[in-house]
A and B are shown apart, each in its own frame.
Chain A
């Protein structure tokens, strides 16, 4: 069994930067953190920003650089959202880990090894409020021997008492150039052939999420071999080709309900995920120049409603048809009120 699973190592892991200074594009954060590393004095930290821009990578890199591979296991506790994280877990797991004393500061094998432990809480914003409150006490109790690294997408979902105890680092979205250079680096390592069009498609479909870009790249490689076209990437990512969205839009502009219905049927038969389609329609609508603000508002309102319904598990066809119908009404400046409703 061994040979088979070895090669399945995720590229995301394989190409994860090991050093804080290698973290792509987060210069400011990197500067502060390198400073921290030198002095080995480290506050609680809170990393936030959109997904796939190196938050977890940074946290892991710091931990590695502070303790080195030997002490890492005993000094660093990683908890991510895939673990069960109720109040009890926070109370027991963290307490158990934090309660074991650490030795004094001694450099070991070239690593600073400061006299505290690090607890990395990934996806902290998915923790319940109760759990966060419980954590607050724990932080105070063990503040002498532990440092917490919180990682989250939305800082607004971290309760204020927790956030105020941390040094906050905002991670910026990655620019296209940085992403391209990173992708090209991987391509070189893996021996892939990626043309310019495919590269720009990749950065478009991944929307600044480097992890997603790498995942797509790996998926495409698995399916299509070492030379990858833009089409391959689209099919792997599940992103809906732009012409499909355009076709739906054209049908809506025509004002012919049956035409739009047919288009919707086609999209469903092709199996495109509707929630994704909605967000792509949203992009198109917002950027369109020939649509008035009022029309945009009307359409976006429906898009939002349909998205909520989809989250609740409503039927894709009906929701998309409803959206198409309203887009049509908006584009053709037909009144939104339903005429025959009593």
Chain B
């Protein structure tokens, strides 16, 4: 049925959502608590001039203390290590702490992401111009007292491009206090249950947020601990928008934010993380786009962050490497940077992981003594290049249109180069195809996150344009495969609702058949060229057919007097005849007036449909250039 490509490997990508949790540092529970996301975060004041030492800057100030305690612990642990050399398993664990024992700045088992959080404008990996732009914006609003029209800045960008970090750094640079919104609502179930038992009523995150915004609008920020400070040096950050589920909740959030934009008097930054696939049929990304544009319309200023460039990431990684004294080759760093896809947080996390590995293998008390070995190890690592990048690569997402384009363009190698094919069984000439110039179709499908059924519909709508004019046989094969897919979609319809897994398997099988059918059937893909991918017209057809049918069913009694007529009879016999007769209502009974109306509405709906059509054709075009 398909050309079997021996290269197919099913890759299961386990995406570990790395959420930056700021509350890691519970160790120091004194008054200097520096949890950055807590409200009224006090002292970012003037940190630039004395970055590492001052007590007023809690971040660096805390570190020596921590590292002190940590290094004590490390010493102990190394002695443990000396005693029990044989307990290698144990050592592995402990070595993890030891890695950075030598470094002055570190010494904790903190995540490097937190440890190397940028503290100055220079350290930021974000593009200088962007930083400058934001800095200017804040400066303007903090310094000048005049009534500027807007006080809200919307910062967008994919995860890990340094949105929050930029704000934090700029705030400390400008000497402003950050006032962050942090939800007091329990986020884990246990917590919720606990609260319930102790009489605390559960309020949804959204409710809390609404209250918060309301308070801010009415009273501004009340900071009881620093009553004397002026209002001018406060920046409000909303980094954690409540999750909305469903349209009504989303609208509440939107209204709430709009109110904020219109009325807030202190400089405010709203950080919106893009989910990266705006066109994937999911509800959330689209609604976030809507949110952004509505905020902009209300007068908010928008800054979009691009993914961080490879060079910046590399620079940062190299800096960290230097400080951690782990030696990675340039290629490795390059790979890491490339694999991160512009996500610096991810890049640093990967780096930490990579650096741990060689040290663990060494199993020696001091890691920096045997740089030779590390190098070998590193070479080995970079040698298995693809596996390496796979391992640390971001979960790459494709847009639905991207994936469809891949399938439809059907790019192939020009000749069969893979050696494995020689040993594999041979297929008849007319069934053999050149290898794909892309990953296995199933993997592409998986990345596109599309639902199976719409994908088949899209393919059906568009595939004809990608097949050569003379290749009627190919068209027929493709059409047949799409039919196969449709059968798979339909089998067990309704019966299996209880057995969801089985249905899912069927769904993916059907999608796979559709995609591979399209790929295989189109034996001589056209050279690639400009093409628009259309939205399936089928959906509209189905809808209007449904509407017409309901109309027919409603009126069927009218047609037939004293008995019900079959829908198919009305559609095939009665209504065409009525059209011919141009029905004369004067002679008819009451019931026939109804039938007249029925006809009219049908016509209307048809017209409406054709109108919709055109709009749709214009608006839904999503160009796919050759890639």
Instruction: Enumerate chain A interface residues (CB-CB to B < 8 A).
Output: 342
Residues of chain B from 475 to 506 with CB closer than 8 A to chain A in the complex: 476-477
Instruction: Enumerate chain B interface residues (CB-CB to A < 8 A).
Output: 473, 476-477
Residues in A whose Cβ lies below 8 Å from that of B473: 342
Residues in A whose Cβ lies below 8 Å from that of B477: 342
A246 to chain B, nearest CB (A): 33
Query: What are 3 contact pairs spanning A and B, CB under 8 A?
Result: A342-B473, A342-B476, A342-B477
In the complex, A293→B112 CA distance in Å? Answer: 82
Which residue from chain A places its CB closest to the CB of B430 in the assembled complex?
A342
Which residue from chain A places its CB closest to the CB of B477 in the assembled complex?
A342
Residues in B whose Cβ lies below 8 Å from that of A342: 473, 476-477
B22 to chain A, nearest CB (A): 54
A155 to chain B, nearest CB (A): 28
In the complex, A342→B473 CA distance in Å? Answer: 6
In the complex, A342→B477 CA distance in Å? Answer: 9
Which residue from chain B places its CB closest to the CB of A342 in the assembled complex?
B473
Residues in A whose Cβ lies below 8 Å from that of B476: 342
A269 to chain B, nearest CB (A): 16
In the complex, A75→B476 CA distance in Å? Answer: 65
A297 to chain B, nearest CB (A): 27
In the complex, A293→B473 CA distance in Å? Answer: 35
In the complex, A243→B477 CA distance in Å? Answer: 42
Which residue from chain A places its CB closest to the CB of B473 in the assembled complex?
A342
Which residue from chain A places its CB closest to the CB of B474 in the assembled complex?
A342
In the complex, A342→B472 CA distance in Å? Answer: 10
B335 to chain A, nearest CB (A): 47
In the complex, A3→B560 CA distance in Å? Answer: 35
In the complex, A342→B523 CA distance in Å? Answer: 13
In the complex, A116→B566 CA distance in Å? Answer: 54
A87 to chain B, nearest CB (A): 15
A312 to chain B, nearest CB (A): 11
A340 to chain B, nearest CB (A): 10
A122 to chain B, nearest CB (A): 26
A121 to chain B, nearest CB (A): 25
B487 to chain A, nearest CB (A): 11
In the complex, A3→B287 CA distance in Å? Answer: 70
B539 to chain A, nearest CB (A): 25
A268 to chain B, nearest CB (A): 16
B499 to chain A, nearest CB (A): 14
Which residue from chain A places its CB closest to the CB of B472 in the assembled complex?
A342
In the complex, A288→B477 CA distance in Å? Answer: 40
In the complex, A342→B471 CA distance in Å? Answer: 11
In the complex, A342→B480 CA distance in Å? Answer: 13
In the complex, A342→B476 CA distance in Å? Answer: 9
A339 to chain B, nearest CB (A): 14
Leading 3 A-B pairs by shortest Cβ distance: A342-B473, A342-B476, A342-B477
In the complex, A17→B358 CA distance in Å? Answer: 90
In the complex, A342→B478 CA distance in Å? Answer: 13
In the complex, A152→B473 CA distance in Å? Answer: 50
Which residue from chain A places its CB closest to the CB of B476 in the assembled complex?
A342
In the complex, A102→B477 CA distance in Å? Answer: 69
A117 to chain B, nearest CB (A): 35
In the complex, A316→B477 CA distance in Å? Answer: 26
In the complex, A9→B473 CA distance in Å? Answer: 62
B493 to chain A, nearest CB (A): 13
In the complex, A342→B470 CA distance in Å? Answer: 13
In the complex, A342→B431 CA distance in Å? Answer: 12
In the complex, A89→B473 CA distance in Å? Answer: 54
Which residue from chain A places its CB closest to the CB of B471 in the assembled complex?
A342
A318 to chain B, nearest CB (A): 16
In the complex, A10→B434 CA distance in Å? Answer: 70
In the complex, A335→B476 CA distance in Å? Answer: 23
B490 to chain A, nearest CB (A): 11
In the complex, A271→B473 CA distance in Å? Answer: 38
B622 to chain A, nearest CB (A): 33
In the complex, A81→B473 CA distance in Å? Answer: 50
